[in-house]
Amino acid sequence: MKEITIPIEYKRLFDRDWREAAVYGGRFSLKSHTVARLLLIRARMEKTRVACFREFQNSISESSHQLLKDLIKEYELTDFEVTDKSIVNTITGSDFIFKGLHHNEQNVKSTEGIDIAWIEEAQTVSKNSIEVLTPTVRKEGSQIIYTYNRLLENDPVHQRLVIEGRPNTLVINVNYDIALKYGYMPEVIRLEMEDDKEKRPSLYKHKWLGEPSNMERKIYKDWNIMEEIPFGARLMRRGIDFGYSNDPTAIVDVYYYNGGYILDEMVYQKGMSNKQIADVLKNVNEQVIVIADSAEPKSIDEIRSYGITILPAKKGPGSINQGIQYVQAQSIGVTKRSLNIIAEYGQYLWKEDKEGRIINEPEGGFDHALDSVRYSIASLKDPNQMGAHVHYAQSSMPRNNLNPINQVQTVQGLPPELEEKPRTAYTHVPRL
């Protein structure tokens, strides 16, 4: 077994005199990896039930399971038995369980005997989820760790633990300087950080120093999370933003229903060739016009050669801001399985100049899925890109033969903007 090192800045996490811990900061502050190591150490020391939560978790692949599995392999911790759904220590009897919080109240409440709960990506956790979780973790001496990068001033977790404060709360604020101190930051990441610091100061402050974004800089607002695509919704467009090595290819379906649009993430993946993209598009049951980034005409031509009906997005002076305005003017719902759309929605911001004034230009980096959305919805107001390729949703069954991130089945529910009678099975997208 290899030696496990924990940075001294995180030493207090081993203590038992706190109830809740807020561990927050910018990128490469070693939050997730350190907490995961800590939990593995505790699980080897004594019998411990560890519950790993996220607000949105449709499958085990979207949990911290993979990180824990990788660390067990890296440190040669042979006393752990790892399956596709669980992790158990064969000597102490410790176990790790993985659950999503959003619209999962009864399942979360029924989880018994939790010694320590870890809530990752806690900046997305809603106030309601916190109120369900905290009394669930009720065992004497139990603890809750929240790890997060701040998004907005009023993130519910930060508001609760840092701004308002709770009894016996531990607060740890860390940034990338820890990774530099202990030699954990790869050179390519250091160069990216330095480049952001020099050329994109507002992005540097948010991304690397963990400072929250100003709500006024948020580009899209008041979108809603939905449980599923409703029966009778019309599939109008499928948008593609191309990526490969550094950026993901993002494919998003856009449905029309009751005067609004519903977004459903289909693919968000790096390293996809045009042939692989075409195969994904051909293997879905619903065929519809595809609108793709016109900056990649060769990719569009190749995908068209495989029999896909694909058109380039129309671009020109001012087209980005015009498209953003048109999208924001619509009632928008997002299926809860569309994790990357939701993440980008919370981090898609207007730029700031060096004096902190907002500029009417989007900040790049969190816009892959949202560019797909803009291409698709903007095309629907253009008569030259309108067409008869419309598919009506017939069921809520998952897509067939796909390897994208969102092959799940959920229950039906609608936000109020997209139905005549309000239902309770929806919630506003958290103020990310």
Enumerate the domain spans of the chain: 8-181, 217-428
Instruction: Report pLDDT for 408.
Output: 29
Contacts of residue 388, Cβ cutoff 8 Å, sequence gap at least 6: none
**What DSSP line would sit under 205-252, residue for residue?**
HHHTS-PPBPGGGBSS---EEESSPPTT-EEEEEEEE---SSS-EEEE
**What secondary structure letter does DSSP report for 363?**
P
Q: What top-level class would CATH report for the domain 8-181? A: alpha beta
Instruction: Report pLDDT for 384.
Output: 56
**What secondary structure letter does DSSP report for 152?**
B
Instruction: Report pLDDT for 246.
Output: 82
CA angle 84, 149, 359 (to 5 degrees): 130
Decide whether 8-181 matches 217-428 in CATH topology: no
d(CA 43, CA 88): 9
Per the rule left: phi > 0, alpha: psi between -120 and 50, beta: everything else, 271 is left
Architecture of domain 217-428: 2-Layer Sandwich (3.30)
Residue 417 in tokens: 């903007």
d(CA 51, CA 48): 10
With contact defined as beta carbons under 8 Å apart, do 142 and 115 qualify? Answer: yes
Instruction: Report pLDDT for 358.
Output: 85
CA angle 35, 69, 404 (to 5 degrees): 105
Q: Give the three-state DSSP class for 87.
A: strand
- What's at 268, amino acid-wise? Y
Instruction: Report pLDDT for 152.
Output: 74
List Cα–Cα distances, 126 to 118, 131, 143, 213, in angstroms: 15, 9, 19, 18
Q: How do residues 81-92 score in pLDDT, each as one tens digit? A: 999 888 999 999
Instruction: Report pLDDT for 2.
Output: 85
Phi, psi of 275 (to 5 degrees): -65, -40
With contact defined as beta carbons under 8 Å apart, do 1 and 72 qualify? Answer: no
d(CA 113, CA 49): 7
Taking each continuous run of H as one helix and of E as one strand, the counts in the chain are 13, 19
Instruction: Report pLDDT for 105.
Output: 75
d(CA 277, CA 267): 9
Contacts of residue 135, Cβ cutoff 8 Å, sequence gap at least 6: none
Instruction: Report pLDDT for 203.
Output: 78
Residue segments in the chain with a per-residue pLDDT below the cut of 50: 386-432
